[in-house]
Amino acid sequence: MRIDLLRHGTTGRDGYLDGRTDPPLSDAGWDQFRRQTQGGIWRRVVSSPRARARAAAEDYARRTGCALDIDADWSELDFGRWEGRKRSDIAAEPGGAALLDAFHADPAASAPDGESWADLQQRVARALDRILARPEPAPVLVVAHGGAIRAALSHLLGWPLHQLWSLRIHPGTRIMLAAGQGGDGAPWGEIVEIIQP
C-alpha cells in the first residue's frame, strides 16, 4: 500500500523544541500544506492531535470528504524540561551541548523529564501497524511531526534512528512510501519519493 508521511507546515519557530508545545501554523505553513496536498488522491487521513498537524488535516478532510482519524500515537516527542525552548539556548548552558548530542545519538536517551526516542518509536510503530492492518487501495496520508516521521521510517525501513538525522525533513516535507507486512507479519517499506516544500 502507499503511505504519504507529511510533516506539518512551518509555525515560524524553527530551531525550537516544540513537542507538546503547540504553536499554530503560520500563513507560510498553511501554504506549504496546501501545495503538498493539492491534487491529492487520499481517501483517508491520519493525523497527530497537535493543532499544528490536526487543523490542516481537518481542513483537508472537510474540503475533500475523506475519512479522518486523529491518533495520539503520531504526536511529536515530549521534550520534557526542554519543551518550547530554543536548541541554541540549551546548547549555550553548561553541559547543554553534550546533553543535546547524547540525546540525538542514543535512542534510549531523553530530554530531562521527557520521552525517549525508543518510546516514540514504540508508539509510532503501533500507529503504523494499525494502518498496515487495514490495507486500502487508495493511499493514506499521515500528517505528523519530524520526530514521528523519523520513527516511522526507522520502523519501516530498518534504519537506526540516530542515522535518520542525515535526512532533512523540513516543515512541509512529504515522503511517499510503499509499505506492507511480510508473511511473517514484519513491516517493510521503501521510499518512492521525497517532496520538499
As a whole number, mean pLDDT of residues 149-167 equals 90
CA 84 to chain centre: 17
Q: What's the pLDDT tens digit per position in 79-108?
A: 999 999 999 999 999 999 999 999 988 888
Confidence of residue 166 (pLDDT cuts 50, 70, 90): confident
* Residue 196: predicted pLDDT: 94
Given a cut of 90, whether residue 128 has pLDDT beyond it is yes
* Residue 6: predicted pLDDT: 98
Which structural domain, as residue segments, surrounds residue 114? 2-195
Given a cut of 80, whether residue 64 has pLDDT beyond it is yes
As for how many domains the chain has, the answer is 1
| Helix 146-157 with 117-132: angle, nearest 10 deg | 70
What CATH number should be reported for the domain holding residue 154?
Answer: 3.40.50.1240
Given a cut of 90, whether residue 47 has pLDDT beyond it is yes
The x, y and z cell numbers of residue 179, run together, are 509499505
